[in-house]
Amino acid sequence: MTVRYPNGKKYTKDATFSPKKNVKKDERFSNRGMTLEEDLNETNEYYRSRNIALIHKKPTPLQIVNVHYPKRSAAVVTEAYFKKPSTTDYNGVYKGKYIDFEAKETKNKTSFPLKNFHDHQIDHMRQVIEQNGITFAILRFSVTDEIYLMFAQDIIPYFQEKDKKRKSIPKNDIESKGYKVPLGLHPRIDYLKIIDKIISNV
């Protein structure tokens, strides 16, 4: 099957994933090589399996353009395009509250680039806030393997300053306004502990 991006460019696995060879793992962290998405998917599975919360990753929508029918009872998609996502990465329900969040990583050490977010994601977060949902971003500094939860109410003002040439959120601001999420084993990224604090104060 041929899958293409919205700009028409052909999607190839090698273009988005290049396995690292001969990389020695840091034994201090059993799963340090996992991506933020993998860690969050594992965490959400832990929550679901124990009936703690129901939170899923939203699938990337595809626009199917060609379908081959080798026989009447079967259909094979031969060409498709990635649609531009319109919302954030994850959503679900926890203790009767709507949860909606985005997950982002950066190799920067002192700031988080605003370009990692899309305008439509920020607009979506604003709409969630208007409906009294809980929306935030989980930000990972990959070099130091630090993870922070920062609520959308604290992120959005930086985009209002974007027109004034602001290009990033300083790490110091993330540390002061956000919440550091320690890495564990089960669950891997226990972000609901932070949500519990917010819910209890409402």
pLDDT digits (tens, 9 = 90+) for 95-131: 999 999 999 999 999 999 999 998 889 999 999 999 9
pLDDT of residue 199: 84
Decide if 11 contacts 5 (C-beta within 8 A).
yes
Q: Whole-model pTM?
A: 0.73
- The fold of the 33-59+85-201 domain, in CATH, is Trna Endonuclease; Chain: A, domain 1 (3.40.1350)
DSSP string, 140-188: EETTTTEEEEEEHHHHHHHHHSGGGT--EEEHHHHHHHSEE--B-SSSS
Domain boundaries, the chain: 33-59+85-201
> How far apart are the C-alpha atoms of 133 and 113, rounded to whole Å?
25
List pLDDT tens digits, range 12-46: 554 444 444 444 444 333 344 468 999 999 999 99
pLDDT given at position 21: 45
Residue 25 is predicted with a pLDDT of: 40
On the CB side of 160, CA atoms within 13 Å amount to 7
Alpha-carbon distance values, 147 to 39, 73, 131, 171, 173 (Å): 11, 48, 27, 11, 14
Report the C-alpha gap between 58 and 81 in whole angstroms.
Answer: 17
Average pLDDT of the chain to the nearest whole number: 82
Q: Is 36 helix (H, G, I), strand (E, B) or coil?
A: helix
Q: How far is CA 149 from the centre of its chain?
A: 11
For residue 33, what pLDDT is reported? Answer: 47
**pLDDT computed for residue 32 by the predictor:** 45
Q: What is the arithmetic mean of pLDDT over 127-142?
A: 96
